[in-house]
A and B are shown apart, each in its own frame.
Chain A
Amino acid sequence: METISGIFDNKGTPLEKQKFTWKEMAGKPISKLDDDAFTRVRIILMNGVETDALRLSHGIARFNKELRLPLAQIRRTEQHQATMINWLIGADHSPLETTVAYEQVAIEVTAAVAQKEPDPYQAQTYRFGLLEDFDHLYRYSAMLDRLEGKDANNILQGYTDIVPGRKTSEHHRHPENDIRDNYEKDSAALITKIHAALITGAEYQTHDYYMNIGPLFADPLARQLYAEIASVEEQHVTQYGSLSDPSESHIEKWLVHEAMEVYMYASCAEQETNPRIKAMWERFLDYELGHLNVACEWFKKLERRDPAEILAGPLPKMVEFKSQRDFVRQVLAAEVNLRTAGPAYVDKAKEPQSSLDYRNHLASEGLASDIVSAGYQWAPGGELMRKAS
């Protein structure tokens, strides 16, 4: 695996120079039609990263008086970064179209991460979750076609397949089967920690997005579909959140998160095709290096440890933003029948009764994910085009 090093050496932009205006934060959106789908993928992903940075920082502030001011200072910038990023999504996206884009993020980024993750159990976890988000894309694409009469591929731009994965109706599990084993902080590679922080943040944002927009729909099936899938996203947050070591100190988790943000902005800046957006990624990369340096100083001061304990060593090359169709197809063929028993991955036949009972009750009055996708086969221009031909 090709690696990079020295990414954290730069001091970045000092916090006092990280400034915004309201107008630039609520600036011009990208084009839904003319920008590459991966520009939107990066935008959605990085909004998820920034909102998770806020979440973690607020959590730390609840337990640490001394850190309250520095965390609040950094949060102010990060909230503004999140605004500037999230406001790039144009109003011509219907909430359901944005949903399709969210699932594309989950699929393509989780697939990229799964292939670079050195810890086999963690990689397995990413592959497991991947097949569920892959299926959500199929159900939502059917919903988009059958509710709004739109083709999900207008959003996906051919990069991501629209076929069933592990059936959404089989994602609902008892909580005891959603907890995963965690990495060990002293032996895990930094990239393992970064991946866990990244994917947890991304899934958290997806959950929150579905919870906010689900009630905006009039159609009872759409409302229920969002309820069904939002619940799975909560399971995913539980799953991915349990990958990180709970014995890491608060400040250590902060350091990892800031390192993740640096790594992700660097990945975005490296591959962005829209020059205006690339400039923004580069600017925010420098901002994040500034945040990381503040976190390092507090780590030294409060924990009397060298940040290099956490940050030293090479990282894999940047997260690749590209179609992961081949990998996804392989995983689908090999692992669609995997289920979980506690933290272990087992065959469908061995799924614990606790999950089956839990799921059966929830579905006892009907399942929107089944109803909206019954017989759905994607065709260019939507299923009506297939039926016409």
Chain B
Amino acid sequence: MATAAKVGTNYTGVQMSPKDTKRLLDAVNDIHPDVPGDERGMLVERAERNEEADRIGSVPVPGSAKGMLKTSFDMMKGKSPEVFIDKLGERLAFERNGVRLYEAMIAKARNLDSGNDLVGVLQHIRDEEFEHMMLVHAAMEKLGADPTAQTPSADVAGVMAMGIMQVLTDPRTNVAQCMNALLTAELADNAAWELLIELAQAAGHPNIADSFVHAKTQEDDHLVKIKTLMRRDLIMQTK
């Protein structure tokens, strides 16, 4: 694994091939676009396709009689309880993915002599992500929702996480690059817990909201830890 950025024969830029670039630019100047317009045509087409599109999927109806009753009860309490269920599903998916991301990061940091117990910190955060996952799981069960179903927002969160997972599991990426990926996840996670607490309150579930406050405090701590580790590593390399 590379541990830091290094100078080398990166061939991607035009400065590495001035003669070829000149020839390429000659071609661009000689042979003009054959379709009039610009990228705004894509906007028009995308807007049209957005209108025509189906949804990604639905929030499942509760499978158990108990759940059915509870959701019916919740229906009376909130305008659209499925919005809250969808976001709970998203959080559960995100936290479960987060556990796996930290496991990948631990593998990355394992053989590094960083002198700051990096693995210990990562393990601690990983364990708390697991706790959060179980916390959301319990909340969904309490509401009669199915925590094993993939809600639409859970599905979309999985799409978002694909890039982060690719960065963390690529053996060639270094610690700073992976910390940056984790920071992206933690920033989103932090804001998401903040919102989830508000949503729980708005949906009329103050007990669930209270149970989430501790998780939010732990997420604040994750953010500080990841930011600090990343900053320290990069500043040390830059100085």
Contacts and interface: CB of A to CB of B under 8 A. Distances in A.
Contacts of A154: 12-13
A34 B172 contact: no
A275 interface: no
A161 B17 CA distance: 13
A90 B172 contact: yes
B107 interface: no
Contacts of B27: 161-163, 325, 329
A99 B16 CA distance: 23
B35 A375 contact: yes
Contact of B28 (A32, A33, A163): A163
A125 B170 CA distance: 42
Given A158-B17, A164-B33, A220-B49, A378 B8 contact: no
Interface stretch (A104-112, A259-267, A344-352, A366-374): A366-374
A373 B33 contact: yes
Interface in B21-35: 21, 23-25, 27-28, 30-35
Interface stretch (B40-48, B79-87, B118-126, B197-205): B40-48
Interface residues of B, number: 36
Contacts of B42: 146, 221, 371-372
B20 interface: yes
Interface in B151-184: 159, 166, 170-172
A312 B209 CA distance: 81
Interface of B: 8-14, 16-17, 20-21, 23-25, 27-28, 30-39, 41-42, 45-46, 49, 159, 166, 170-172
Interface of A: 28-29, 32-37, 90-92, 146, 153-155, 157-159, 161-164, 167, 218-221, 323, 325, 329, 332, 366, 368, 370-380, 383
7 contacts: A153-B14, A157-B16, A221-B45, A325-B20, A375-B33, A377-B28, A380-B21
Nearest 6 Cβ contacts at the A-B interface: A158-B20, A374-B37, A158-B17, A154-B12, A163-B31, A220-B49
